[in-house]
A and B are shown apart, each in its own frame.
Chain A
Amino acid sequence: NAGVMQNPRHLVRRRGQEARLRCSPMKGHSHVYWYRQLPEEGLKFMVYLQKENIIDESGMPKERFSAEFPKEGPSILRIQQVVRGDSAAYFCASSPIGQGRDEQYFGPGTRLTVT
Chain B
Amino acid sequence: DQQVKQNSPSLSVQEGRISILNCDYTNSMFDYFLWYKKYPAEGPTFLISISSIKDKNEDGRFTVFLNKSAKHLSLHIVPSQPGDSAVYFCAASYLTGNQFYFGTGTSLTVIP
Question: Is A48 close to B, CB under 8 A?
Answer: yes
Total chain B interface residues with beta-carbon distance under 8 A:
29
Size of the A side of the interface (Cβ < 8 Å), in residues, is 27
Which B residues from 87 to 106 make CB contacts under 8 A with A? 89, 93-105
Flag A8-44 by CB within 8 Å of B: 1 or 0 each: 0000000000000000000000000101000011111
A69 within 8 A of B: no
Q: Does B42 have its Cβ within 8 Å of any Cβ on chain A?
A: yes
Question: Cβ of A43: which chain B residues have Cβ within 8 Å of it?
Answer: 44, 89, 100, 102
Cβ-closest chain B residue relative to A105: B46
B8 contacts the other chain (CB 8 A): no
The answer to whether A44 and B102 touch across the interface, beta carbons within 8 angstroms, is: yes
A101 close to B102 (CB less than 8 A) = no
- The answer to whether A4 and B43 touch (CB under 8 A), given A41-B104, A42-B105, is yes
Neighbouring A residues of B108 by C-beta, 8 Å: none
Write out, one digit per residue, whether chain A residues 75-106 have a CB within 8 A of any chain B CB (1) or not (0). Answer: 00000000000000001010000111101111
- Give 19 new A-B contacts, CB below 8 A, not counting A33-B100, A91-B43, A100-B97: A6-B43, A35-B102, A41-B104, A42-B4, A42-B105, A43-B102, A45-B101, A48-B98, A48-B99, A56-B98, A59-B99, A100-B93, A100-B94, A103-B46, A103-B49, A106-B43, A106-B44, A108-B43, A109-B41
| Smallest CB-CB A-B distances: 8 pairs | A106-B43, A45-B99, A42-B102, A100-B93, A42-B104, A56-B98, A43-B102, A48-B98
